[in-house]
């Protein structure tokens, strides 16, 4: 995927690489992977936050799914994350 993106951008003259094509493809690949894992990392962080309050959540019989969604939305908003 990264190779195609780089090929299309260079082929259309939209970018002129200042590094070797292989290096540029690797960099684009890393960026794509980073973007694809943003939500996974965010979900893990929300789980960690909620696990610190698990006894309170269980004791008060709070809806874990609802708390998860609310916490996730709050972090997305605070950090200006685009999912």
CA atoms within 13 A on the CB side of 21: 9
Q: 49 and 32, same structural domain?
A: no
pLDDT of residue 11: 95
**Which value, to the nearest 10 degrees, does the dihedral of the CA atoms of residues 24, 30, 31, 34 take?**
180
Residue-range definition of the domain harbouring residue 18: 2-36
pLDDT, the chain, mean:
96
Q: What is the mean pLDDT of residues 6-29?
A: 96
Q: What is the mean pLDDT of residues 43-66?
A: 96
Q: 68 and 52, same structural domain?
A: yes
pLDDT of residue 70: 97
> CA-CA distance, 13 to 60, in Å (whole number)?
60
Q: 44 and 27, same structural domain?
A: no
Q: For 21-43, how does the pLDDT look when each residue is reduced to its tens digit (9 = 90+)? A: 999 999 999 999 999 999 999 99
Which single residue is written with the structure tokens 């916490």? 71
- Domains: count for the chain: 2
Q: For 57-67, how does the pLDDT look when each residue is reduced to its tens digit (9 = 90+)? A: 999 999 999 99
């Amino acid at each position: 995927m990264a190779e195609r993106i780089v090929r299309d951008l260079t082929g259309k003259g939209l970018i002129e690489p200042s590094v070797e094509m292989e290096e540029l493809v690797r960099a684009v690949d890393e960026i794509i992977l980073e973007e694809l894992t943003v939500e996974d990392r965010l979900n893990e962080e929300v789980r960690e936050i909620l696990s610190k309050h698990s006894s309170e959540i269980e004791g008060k019989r709070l809806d874990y799914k609802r708390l998860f969604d609310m916490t996730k939305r709050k972090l997305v908003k605070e950090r200006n994350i685009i999912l």
